[in-house]
Structure 1
Amino acid sequence: MIARVAYDETDRTLSIWFRETGRYIYSDVPSAIFEGIRRAPSAGRYFNDCIKRRFPCRPDPERRKFRPRFSD
């Protein structure tokens, strides 16, 4: 479910890269939450229990969605 996590201590933002949907940025996240997900036996379970729907979230602004273009 989760490919990578990173934390910006200055901005208190947690970036999570999901395997299927790409990167999402969570705001106002305490550093203890980042340490928790890093050390959790299951990052996915920790995310569901401690992060999901608890912090403001937005998709990566630089993420581009690919959609196939069909020519006539």
Structure 2
Amino acid sequence: MHIMPSSVVNSYIYFPETEILRIIYQSGRIYDYLKVPATIAEKFREARSKGRFLNSIIKPGFKYLKIS
């Protein structure tokens, strides 16, 4: 699990075997973004602004499941 200072993202976990990017929001909500390639997960990890990357690349490009 990666924890970082962000006003939107509390932490995240990437599961390469299933290509799931799990985002834990500051609100406590948890979402799994599906079929996220490792290259995108790596770019997310490197992104200076996790919230901006999430809103511009992850949310519009990948289906998701609300976990809690």
TM range (shorter): 0.7 to 0.9
Identity of aligned residues (%): 30
Dislocated runs of 4+, deviation >4 Å: none
Gaps of 5+ in 2: 1-7
Instruction: Give SS of 2:61's match.
Output: coil
C-alpha RMSD of the superposition: 1.0
- TM-score for both structures, normalised by structure 1: 0.78
Higher normalized helix content (fraction of residues): 2
Please point out which of 31, 44, 63 is paired with 1:24.
Answer: 31
**Aligned partners of 2:50 and 2:36: how far apart in 1?**
16
Matches of 1:45 and 1:53 in 2, distance apart? 12
Q: Tell me, which stretches of 5 or more residues in structure 1 are unaligned?
A: 64-72
Equivalent in 47, 51, 57 of residue 64 of structure 2 = 57
Larger Rg: 1
- Number of residue pairs matched? 61
